[in-house]
Amino acid sequence: MKLISDRETQKRAARFLIVGGTSFCVQVATMKLFSLGLGTDVAFTLAFLCSSATHYTLNRFWALPSARADTWRQLREYLGTVAISWVINFGVFHLCLDVIGLEKTWATAVAVPPSTIVVFLLLNYRVFRAKTVGPKG
């Protein structure tokens, strides 16, 4: 597939995965912290929000730099992507927790990967799309 073989897309994907790993660590750490005094769903959602704030900041300014000047629209699109990601994550989290019987931390860990591809495609090709290079001539 041409999109994946493009060198710039490969670099952006590698940086995206680093950001994802960092955001994942934030989510697991805050899930453990919030689970000490809050219910499971509230703790999961707050941890997801902390992770998403980390994810947005690192992607916007490092992993997926964008030439877009419409920052507020871009933020709204990012929040839409986060909502899609939350639905996928929350569904898988509860599948792992309630059906499979995993512990909360493991259920959180397993919930992250399923949405990664969808989120990368939305962020890379829509929200934080790369700077376009004009025709050479």
Domains held by the chain: number: 1
pTM of the model: 0.71
> What does the pLDDT read at residue 134?
46
pLDDT at 68 over 50: yes
Domain presence at residue 85: yes
> What does the pLDDT read at residue 137?
40
Range of the domain at 7: 2-127
Q: Do 60 and 128 touch, CB atoms closer than 8 A?
A: yes
> What does the pLDDT read at residue 133?
45
Domain presence at residue 135: no
Higher pLDDT: 19 or 69? It is 19
Residue 109 to residue 112: CA distance in whole angstroms? 6
Region 5-28 average pLDDT: 86
| pLDDT tens digits, 90-127 | 899 899 999 999 988 888 888 888 888 788 888 877 78
Higher pLDDT: 68 or 56? It is 56
Domain presence at residue 83: yes
Region 57-71 average pLDDT: 82
> What does the pLDDT read at residue 131?
57
Residue 56 to residue 22: CA distance in whole angstroms? 12
Q: At 125, is the secondary structure helix, strand, or coil?
A: helix
Domain presence at residue 121: yes
> What does the pLDDT read at residue 132?
54
